[in-house]
């Protein structure tokens, strides 16, 4: 076949040799150029995230990992001490072990209570009521405020010696203690605060309840299932993915509680270290006593603890979490 021309250039015959690479230059370069421009545009849009990730997340994490093996007081150069910080916290620091105990006790009590209350309220809302949107917003408001200072200050006033709770108990002739000043009860006031902020899991459960087919409840009712049996064998299995999701998020959040413990205890973790949460003790070591190397080691141990608990949750989920495969 005869050769052709493109813009005055002689092209080789179809199937013939192309010693000058003319066809590649004409047909390939525009495609490669478009791919380069698209890749460049993608990296331009990703640049803010990449800068934030490497500059504000990965970089500080690596520095923190290095500092965890040093003795560093923020004023002098870090001094390498190897595993001394980790050995000290696990074998020669009773306050560290107490902070771990307090945080674990808080997690194992507040998380189940919060999820149970969230599910109960979600089921009440799902039963149908007027002004549902208003009630949903009101119940979600405490979670929206989160661990704000204002909420912690309010809670301090509610459970103080002359607070709202003691005022109501006084009307009944009950002489109650100052809940936040008594080491027997101080932690439980924080548990109550954590449970009170159940709005986020409640909304997630409510969304899940609306996806459960009514035909399943009808079939269970026809078979003579009681309300408890319908809840046990229809509602709970359908909600297990959301229960698992909420469980993982709430456990992680419970190990990161700081603001409420700091405000209610005035930054001390008192009384008698009964509210000395892990993150509060980390703050004290790093920014009050300037043991920044020790605080960095605490942070990495906390990361490891959360990672292990999360991994165990995922491993155990295969035995109780039921995913809908779309077949009825």
The mean per-residue pLDDT over the stretch 33-62 comes to 88
* Amino acid 14: pLDDT: 52
Nearest residue to 115 via CA among 308, 249, 303: 249
* Amino acid 99: pLDDT: 96
Tell me the pLDDT tens digit for each residue of 173-225.
Answer: 888 888 999 999 999 999 999 999 998 999 999 999 999 988 988 898 888 88
Tell me which residue has tokens 């500092």. Answer: 67
d(CA 43, CA 36): 11
- Residue 216's contacts (CB-CB under 8 Å, 6 or more residues apart) are 234, 238
Asked if residue 6 has pLDDT above 60, the reply is no
The mean per-residue pLDDT over the stretch 126-155 comes to 77
Asked if residue 40 has pLDDT above 80, the reply is yes
* Amino acid 325: pLDDT: 57
* Amino acid 205: pLDDT: 95
Asked if residue 301 has pLDDT above 90, the reply is yes
Q: Are 208 and 242 in contact (CB under 8 A)?
A: yes
Tell me the pLDDT tens digit for each residue of 142-152.
Answer: 777 766 778 88
The mean per-residue pLDDT over the stretch 260-267 comes to 91
pTM score above 0.95: no
In 10 A of CB 38, how many CB atoms? 10
The mean per-residue pLDDT over the stretch 283-312 comes to 95
* Amino acid 13: pLDDT: 52
Lowest-pLDDT range, 43-47, 124-128, 215-219? Answer: 124-128
Domains of the chain, each with CATH number or no CATH: 84-317 (1.10.3720.10)
d(CA 205, CA 236): 11
Nearest residue to 205 via CA among 109, 125, 144, 320: 125
Tokens of 244: 């698992």
C-alpha distance from residue 46 to each of 35, 52, 53, 55, 60 (Å)? 16, 10, 10, 14, 20
User: Does residue 124 or residue 277 have the better pLDDT?
Assistant: 277
Q: Are 209 and 235 in contact (CB under 8 A)?
A: yes
* Amino acid 282: pLDDT: 96
Asked if residue 273 has pLDDT above 80, the reply is yes
């Amino acid at each position: 076949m005869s050769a052709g021309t493109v813009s005055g250039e002689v092209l080789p015959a179809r199937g013939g040799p192309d010693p000058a690479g003319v066809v590649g230059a004409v047909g390939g370069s525009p495609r490669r150029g478009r791919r380069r421009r698209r890749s460049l545009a993608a990296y331009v849009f990703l640049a803010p995230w990449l800068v934030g990730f490497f500059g504000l997340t990965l970089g500080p994490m690596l520095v923190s990992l290095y500092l965890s093996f040093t003795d560093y007081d923020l004023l002098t150069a870090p001094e390498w001490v190897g595993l001394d910080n980790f050995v000290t916290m696990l074998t020669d620091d009773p306050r560290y072990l107490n902070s771990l105990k307090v945080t674990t006790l808080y997690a194992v009590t507040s998380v189940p209570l919060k999820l149970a209350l969230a599910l109960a309220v979600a089921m009440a809302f799902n039963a149908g009521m007027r002004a549902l949107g208003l009630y949903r917003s009101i119940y979600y408001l405490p979670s929206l405020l989160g661990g704000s200072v204002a909420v912690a200050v309010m809670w301090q006033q509610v459970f103080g010696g002359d607070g709202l709770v003691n005022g109501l108990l006084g009307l009944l002739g009950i002489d109650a203690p100052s809940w936040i000043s008594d080491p027997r009860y101080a932690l439980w006031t924080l548990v109550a605060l954590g449970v009170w902020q159940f709005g986020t899991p409640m909304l997630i459960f409510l969304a899940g309840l609306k996806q459960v087919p009514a035909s399943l409840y009808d079939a269970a009712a026809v078979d003579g299932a009681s309300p408890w049996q319908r809840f046990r064998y229809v509602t709970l299995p359908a909600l297990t993915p959301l229960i698992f999701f909420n469980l993982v998020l709430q456990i992680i959040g419970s190990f990161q509680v700081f603001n409420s413990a700091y405000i209610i205890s005035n930054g001390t973790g008192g009384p008698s270290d009964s509210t000395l949460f892990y993150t509060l003790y980390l703050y004290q070591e790093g920014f009050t006593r300037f043991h920044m190397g020790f605080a960095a080691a605490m942070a990495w141990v906390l990361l490891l603890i959360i990672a292990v608990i999360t991994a165990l949750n995922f491993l155990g989920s295969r035995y109780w979490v039921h995913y809908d495969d779309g077949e009825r």
